[in-house]
Structure 1
């Protein structure tokens, strides 16, 4: 381990733990622990959402996907960025106006059913687990490259998984939403700064995106694959649109056919609105307008981020073969100049342009990306279990302190489960049907979210007729279809078009979930308070003020008092 590696790791952990200590909640209330008192400003919240959303799959995975398959990898950037458009237009402001603790809490209260709440809790936990594991994998991959040593007899990869997960579990359980929010805001600024530095360094070295794509397109696209005798060899990729032609870096078809490209973007785009760790942040904004404004800022930041990630993945594909000819350390990571682990693309590019310091900076950013998202996921898990299960079903008479303690315990259990699965799914033992391991695994989380939660969430916000029975049926339909399809896609040797649709199933599962929700809802009764809920979500300020006044008047009459003058 070099001195730069030591300083990098120490710096990351000091910043993370220091921010958590300085911003820890002063009171043990559930509103402070889960929602930071609902007093998070627009810019801070936008930075925190970016820190939450721009995970290891974004920082390492998007560049890796572009590095491996060119234009087809760029669809990940398009889908991840486009996901905030439906959030902005359909979800953010109404969700905040309704004002609850979590997505499960919102659906349970909006549809007036504990069955809906518990069903949503189960879906949320599945999404969180699918999202947690690849973040832990990203932390292990980065530690393995940066440090190269394990502790207590563990491999470097397993050590990285455990250390990163343990640090963030402590941060979340100690700092709650307030500490996590400021941590994620600071972490996003550091992550964004590292990406800007690397993009500037690459551009300063005469990199031009168009020229690089044209140069890479002069020869067939080939990537390393393990052989039967344990060695590695370069294998040419076939074009999925025209199977008689080899794949080319700058043209579509290296990984996905036409249907597969659409299915991937739809899966990622719809999945964002159902991600619990992202959507729970709508509840931390002071008003619905603030939630919508925050989303606009998020769109601007992540658009710039993904543009740089695509550019750097392209730069790595051209720069690494040339650098491998003269750098022995890089030859150990490559096969004929092509990286065996695509997620190493950005850290290697950082070392090429900045030496050990550049490697340390990019690796620190990768660790920050993984840890920041893990923090948001653990807090979302704590909110659903601590508030929606413990407070409402296990111990309804729980004090605020007991509820917060239950949430903290859940963060530790969820972190342990994710770390165990990440260690079991070693990167070299898993060959995904897509360009990047972490990007592939995160796609599963988006598939479940976009298939099971997003259709029911959008219908609950925008259709008065949505019922509890319809919501449960829709969530079960979307969730079962999504999990079943991508599970089959991972094991079946299906034709390319079928396989692509199976591993990105939201194009099929989301419409099915919406249809089932509507059909069942039409045969069952809507909640009695649907009009009041509608006004809370969509009414003007005057409407909501009148609704509050009416509620106060009714309450006064029930107490036998004269109505309050307003």
Structure 2
């Protein structure tokens, strides 16, 4: 434990808590608690989406994946950033124009079905839990390195898991979407500042990305493995050129050609189905603002992931030469290579910034963890509080009761994620995965991209989508995705395992086909044209539609008044 690191972390947490308290909602309405009154500006919302999206998998996981496997790790950065392209082109504007509170609320109203809503709630909770667990793991790993001590008899890892989830659950329950939005915006800026500082530092010390790639690619890629005699380095074999050693600067160290493509598709498709990210678009004031926000997010994501890839490469190049002068690295490395890849950025920060540098980077990692956990818990609260409690358990609930139900679900979800994260050993996946945190997050993307995104896109862009079709598509996607990546973790054949653990390339088309086939055999909801106009009509179209509706309502009202007058005259 060192005082400089703890001080840096304490300052960051104080800022985050202060923002949450100051910006908490003043009222108790569900629109304020879940959607921040739908008045979040473009830049603020872009920062908040980045804070929501740039999780432990982005901050720790991408750099760790690059550190372990070079170019193959960079596919994570490509997939994570590319995910906002389909969101920009197909989802952001029509989703916001339609409105509502959450993905289940959108699907339930668009398809006029409570069954669709409840199935979507179940899939949302599966995605959220899959995403929460690696965030809690990332918090435990970072605390373990930063503080190195536990409390109340707990291990450092367990302490980090509990501190990160408990603190964020309190922030969300207190601040709602308004407080969480500003908290996540500030957290993103702190996170980006940590990356920029570390990049500037290593470049200032003489690091050159191109030269580092050439140097690292000149020798076979080796990583630690735990054998019968303890930890030792083992040479990675190329998946694209069997019988040859893998290289840091060439594809194939972890994924074959098909596996690389499947990974990118899984991550890109999954983004459009992530409930905590998509819910943010409901907070924009207009569809145009939602689209503009996504353009900002794409630019910020490109910068963020470019820095993460560069720093993962820098860690692989610079850490081995630092071991001799820094005895504390001996316990973390095997012949100069880190045992836990997620330590790459914090270790780099300590090498070049001392304890204060470690504190800055580790605080950034915990900020990434807490920011994403906050978004996930808020998405969970929206689905349970609004889609289940308000509509099914207590339809006569007051606004305060609905908000309190949402707050309670944040605590339940946080406890479930913490309990599952505590059952995981931090080093249990590293021998077979480029990054434990990034790979576990991929499972959440696989469920979202397989179960939600095909149905989501069809509901937005195909008039013929029906409630029965959407239900069948979501269940097919979720069951197949979970089954495939569960089986994939026990398969030895490399090519088959790659496809199974990133199943969206196969499952998403199947889920879309099931949705279409079932929809063609069942009746579409009665108000399809009205829903289509809300999502896709121009401003003039929507204005004309509102005028027409008001005219019809006025005529009906006039007719009712005339009828009452005529009947009165007869009497």
Whether these two folds match at TM > 0.5 is yes
Compute the displacement of 1:295 (Å): 0.2
Distance 2:528 2:138 in 1: 44
Q: Is the Cα–Cα contact under 8 Å of residues 460 and 535 in structure 2 kept in the other structure?
A: yes
In 1: Cα distance, 2:533 partner to 2:56 partner: 39
The separation in 1 between residues aligned to 2:7 and 2:549, in whole angstroms, is 58
TM-score, normalization: structure 1?
A: 0.98
Is 1:263 the counterpart of 2:243 in the alignment?
Answer: no
Tell me how far 1:3 sits from its aligned partner: 1.1
Give the match's secondary structure for 1:223.
strand
> Which residue does the alignment assign to 2:480?
481
Does residue 167 (structure 1) correspond to residue 171 (structure 2)? The answer is no
Structure 1 residue matching 2:232: 3-state secondary structure: strand
What is the CA-CA distance between 1:390 and the residue it aligns to? 0.5
Partner in structure 1 of residue 437 of structure 2: 438
In the TM superposition, what is the alpha-carbon distance from 1:12 to its structure 2 partner?
Answer: 2.2
1:515 paired residue number: 513
> Residue 85 of structure 1 aligns with which residue?
85
Number of the residue aligned with 2:446:
447
Alignment-derived partner of residue 534 in structure 2: 536
Separation in 1, partners of 2:335, 2:430: 20
Q: Max radius of gyration: which structure?
A: 2
Match of 2:565 in 1: none
Alpha-carbon distance in structure 1 between the residues aligned to 2:347 and 2:549: 61
Query: Equivalents in 2 of 1:529, 1:434: separation in Å?
Result: 48
Q: What is the deviation of 1:228?
A: 2.5
Contact (CA 8 Å) 1:432, 1:440: kept in 2 or not? no
Cα separation, 1, equivalents of 2:215 and 2:506: 38
Q: 2:348 aligned with 1:349, yes or no?
A: yes
- Tell me the equivalent position of 2:23: 23
SS of equivalent to 1:386: helix
Whole-angstrom CA distance in 2 between matches of 1:166 and 1:437: 22
User: What is the alpha-carbon distance in structure 2 between the residues aligned to residue 558 and residue 27 of structure 1?
Assistant: 37
1:491-516 alpha-carbon deviations (Å, 9 max, x no partner): 222x2111100000000000000011
Aligned to 2:362: 363
Q: Map Cα deviations across residues 306-337 of structure 1 (whole Å, 9 max, x no partner).
A: 00000000000010000012210011100000
1:70 — aligned with what?
70
**Structure 2: how far apart are the matches of 1:228 and 1:476?**
43
Give the C-alpha shift of residue 33 in structure 1. Answer: 0.2
Contact 2:341 2:430 in 1 (8 A): no
The 5 A counterparts of 1:156-555 are: 156-229=156-229, 231-431=230-430, 433-493=432-492, 495-555=493-553
CA distance in 1, matches of 2:444, 2:529: 33
Contact 1:13 1:167 in 2 (8 A): no
Q: Judging changes above 3 Å, is the alpha-carbon distance between structure 1 residues 38 and 384 closer, same or farther for their aligned structure 2 residues?
A: same
1:554 CA displacement: 3.5
Q: CA deviation at 1:542?
A: 1.1
The alpha-carbon deviation at position 562 of structure 1 amounts to 8.8
Pairwise CA distance, 1:10: 1.3
Contact 1:97 1:537 in 2 (8 A): yes
1:108-127 superposed matches below 5 A: 108-127=108-127
Q: After superposition, where does 1:88-99 map in structure 2 within 5 Å?
A: 88-99=88-99
Alpha-carbon shift at residue 294 of structure 1 (Å): 0.1
Aligned partners of 2:507, 2:144: CA distance in 1, in Å?
Answer: 37
Q: CA deviation at 1:17?
A: 1.1
Alignment partner, residue 569 of structure 2 = none
Distance in 2 (alpha carbons) for counterparts of 1:164 and 1:15: 15
The TM-score, its normalising length taken from structure 2, stands at 0.97
CA shift for structure 1 position 540? 0.6
Give 1:560 shift: 4.5
Q: Does the Cα contact within 8 Å between 1:136 and 1:161 map onto a contact in 2?
A: yes
1:234 aligned counterpart, secondary structure: strand
Find the aligned partners of 2:400 and 2:505 in 1 and give their Cα distance: 43
Q: Which runs of 5+ in 2 are unaligned?
A: 562-571
Post-superposition Cα deviations, 1:140-166, rounded to whole Å, max 9, x if no partner, equal 100000000000000000001101111
**Contact preservation (8 Å) 2:5, 2:360:** no
SS at match of 1:151: coil
Deviation at 1:432, TM superposition (A): 6.7
Alpha-carbon distance in 1 for matches of 2:474, 2:255 = 28
- The alpha carbon displacement at 1:134 in A equals 0.4
Aligned length: 561
* 1:38 paired residue number: 38
In 1, Cα distance between equivalents of 2:381 and 2:517: 33
SS in 1 for 2:316: helix
Shift of 1:99: 0.5
Cα offsets for 1:435-478 (capped at 9, x unmatched): 00000000000000000000000000000010101100110111
Whether the 8 Å contact between 2:86 and 2:272 is mirrored in structure 1 is yes
Q: Distance in 1 between matches of 2:544 and 2:381?
A: 35
Residues 251-278 of structure 1 deviation map (CA, whole Å, 9 limit, x = unaligned): 0000000000000000000000000000
* Residues 432, 37 of structure 1: alpha-carbon distance in 2 compared, 3 angstrom cutoff: farther
In 1, Cα distance between equivalents of 2:183 and 2:361: 18
For 2:158 and 2:323, locate their aligned partners in 1 and report how far apart those are by CA, in whole Å.
27
**C-alpha contact (below 8 Å) 1:56/1:135 kept by paired residues:** yes
Structure 1: runs of 5 or more not aligned: none
1:232 is paired with a residue whose SS is strand
Find the residue that maps to 2:252 and give its secondary structure. Answer: coil
Q: Structure 2 vs 1, CA of residues 280 and 317 (structure 1 numbering), >3 Å: closer, same or farther?
A: same
Q: What is the CA-CA distance between 1:557 and the residue it aligns to?
A: 4.2
Report Cα offsets for 1:30-52 as digits up to 9, x if no partner. Answer: 00000000000000000000000
Q: Is the 8 A contact 1:277 1:380 kept in 2?
A: yes
